[in-house]
């Protein structure tokens, strides 16, 4: 698969249903919410912003992002459809979103969090240069990526 085909696009009236239809494998449901929950967070709050992730014009994944009080950018709600996992889409989506967010002037780092039992997410994020900081967010481990680290 050509990862150049992976695009982060705004969630719109035209694609939100495709986003909402994304599903993960049953054993992953303990680690992520349904996309409809994340869409509600974005629609009814002023913190999180959503992205549809497309390949060849088809929605294959989803993610949200936010700005924290310290100006760091947060990545959350990463969902790669079960049918499209193990193809590099999650890696490419996090890489593209991380690079897009860190490019905003004044952004000190990009952060994300995950449950300690979610070893697949942990391995992915650490392989992309995120570093566990010792911080927690509820029951989740926080990792941050800073340019040059």
Tens digits of per-residue pLDDT, 122-141? 999 999 999 999 999 999 99
In a domain, 121, yes or no: no
**Number of CB atoms found within 10 A of residue 24's CB:** 17
CATH number of the domain residue 80 falls in: 3.40.630.30
In a domain, 95, yes or no: yes
Buried/exposed 40-79: b ≥16 CB within 10 Å, e otherwise: ebbeeeeebebbbbbbeeebbbbbbbbbeeeebbbbbbbb
In a domain, 117, yes or no: no
Task: Please give the mean pLDDT across all residues of the chain.
Answer: 92
In a domain, 100, yes or no: yes
Kindly indicate the confidence band of residue 4, based on its pLDDT and cuts at 50, 70 and 90: low
Q: What residues contact 43, with CB distance under 8 A and at least 6 apart?
A: none
Question: What is the reported pTM?
Answer: 0.92
In a domain, 67, yes or no: yes
**Number of CB atoms found within 10 A of residue 111's CB:** 23
* Tens digit of each residue's pLDDT (9 = 90 or more) over 26-50: 888 878 889 999 999 998 988 999 9
Domain of residue 50: give its range: 3-108
In a domain, 27, yes or no: yes
Q: What percent of the chain has pLDDT over 70?
A: 97
In a domain, 114, yes or no: no
């Amino acid at each position: 698969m050509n990862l150049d085909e992976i695009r982060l696009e705004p969630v719109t009236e035209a694609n939100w249903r495709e986003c909402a239809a994304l599903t993960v494998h049953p054993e992953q449901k303990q680690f992520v919410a349904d996309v409809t929950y994340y869409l509600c967070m974005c629609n009814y709050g002023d913190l999180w912003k959503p992205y549809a992730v497309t390949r060849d014009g088809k929605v294959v994944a989803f993610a949200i992002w936010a700005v924290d009080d310290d100006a760091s950018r947060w990545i959350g709600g990463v969902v790669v459809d079960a049918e499209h996992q193990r193809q590099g889409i999650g890696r490419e989506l996090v890489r593209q979103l991380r690079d897009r967010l860190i490019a905003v002037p004044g952004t000190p780092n990009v952060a994300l969090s995950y449950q300690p039992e979610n070893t697949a997410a942990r391995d992915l994020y650490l392989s992309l240069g995120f570093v566990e900081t010792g911080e927690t967010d509820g029951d989740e481990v926080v990792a941050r990526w800073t340019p040059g680290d």
